[in-house]
Amino acid sequence: MAKLAFLGLGLMGTPIAARLIEAGHDLTVWNRTSGKTRPLVDQGASVASSPAEAVAGADAVFTMVATPEALEQVLFGDEGVVGALSPGQRVIDMSTVGPQMIASVARRLPSHVTLVDAPVRGSVPEASTGRLEIYVGASQAAFDYVQPLLDPLGNVHHVGGPGAGAATKVVVNLTLGVAITALGEALALADTLGIERTTLLDVLVDSPIGPIVRGKRANIESGTYPPTFKLSLALKDLRLVGESAAGSGPDLRLAAASQSWLEQAARDGAADLDFSAVVATILEARS
C-alpha cells in the first residue's frame, strides 16, 4: 500500500481515484470544487484544503486536470504543490496537456522530484472499470516504480522516456478527432445518397471506423449526447495536435479539418456535450 495524493476530480479523475482506493492505497484528494470530494471520502479518502497540503508525506502525486492552464495552477499557482514536494516524490500527470507543457513542467520541478507523464485513452466507463489505455513516458526506473500503481487503472504502456507519454497521447487524439468527424461526414454523404441511417451504421460497424461507430451509435441514433468525453476537451486536444506540429512539423490537413468541425460544434452550443455531438453539427450543415 502506498500513500498517494490525487489532484483533480472531474469526470475522469473521480473514478480513477476510486480505483486507487479500491486497490488499497491511502489516498488524499483535492479538487478546486470541494463538493466533488464527498464520494471519495465515503470510500475512505482524506481531503486536503489545498494542493500543497495534499502532497505532504505522499509517495506519489497524481494530477488529472482538464487543460495546461489548470495543471499550471495546481503545480505552480498559489498553494500549488511545487513548494511542498519532498525529495524522492513522484508526480504522475495523467492529464492531456501536450508534450510542450510536460517539458515545461519538468524544467521547473525540483531536481529531487521525478515527473512521469501518463495520459490515458478512454472515457468514464473505462476509467470506472479499470480498462484505460495508459501511455507512460518515464525512465525505466521510474516506470518500474509507477507501474504497480497504474496497473489497477488499465493497460499500462511504457512508450518511451520522459515526455513520450504526452507525445503519444497527442498522436492518438489526432486519430480520434479524425475518426469522429469522418463518421459525421460519412453519415451526411449517406443522407445525400439516400442510404437509410440504420443500414449504414450496421455497415460502418465493420469498417475501419468501427470502434467509434460502436461506441457512439446510441448517441447518434437518439440525438442525445451525454458527456463521457466533453467536446470542449476534444477540441482542446486537437489544438494541442496543431501546437505540436507547429513550425517544422508536418502539414496535418485532416487534423485541421477535424478541428474546424469541432470549433463549429462548440460555437453551436455543444461544448459541454459529448464530443460525438460534432456528428449532429456536420449533419445539420448539410441541410
Positions marked catalytic: 169
| Coil vs helix vs strand at 4 | strand
How far, in Å, CA of 73 to CA of 174, rounded? 26
Q: Are the CB atoms for 19 and 153 separated by under 8 Å? A: yes
How far, in Å, CA of 175 to CA of 93, rounded? 22
Could you list the beta-strand ranges (E) of 65-113.
Answer: 90-93
Q: Are the CB atoms for 170 and 252 separated by under 8 Å? A: no
Nearest Cα neighbor of 242 from 212, 262, 227 is 262
Query: In sequence order, what are the residues at sequence separation of 6 or more whose Cβ sits closer than 8 angstroms to the Cβ of residue 233?
Result: 66, 96, 275
- The label of the residue with cell 455531438 reads 277
| Coil vs helix vs strand at 7 | strand
Query: In sequence order, what are the residues at sequence separation of 6 or more whose Cβ sits closer than 8 angstroms to the Cβ of residue 171?
Result: none
